[in-house]
Structure 1
């Protein structure tokens, strides 16, 4: 079994995982950003109300 064949198959298998991992990380970053923005806006609204 030649190593190049194994490496190519390995990369074919890892590439989608890598892609999914990136999507998950970006989704998580977006989620954290949304929560931070929400609290930030909430704080601004609270200070405006007073």
Structure 2
């Protein structure tokens, strides 16, 4: 999840310097990592929800 965290930090702190081509590339080519991250996140939420 390091790449996702690094990208999140870039978006939050350098939002006016984000290259739209890079953003598009990440959204298109890194979707598997994003889906995996959110799948794990949902599992953690479900575990502690009850």
With normalisation by structure 2, the TM-score equals: 0.43
State the structure with more CA Rg: 1
After TM superposition, the score normalised by the length of structure 1 is 0.43
Q: Which has the higher contact order (CA 8 A, sep 6+)?
A: 2
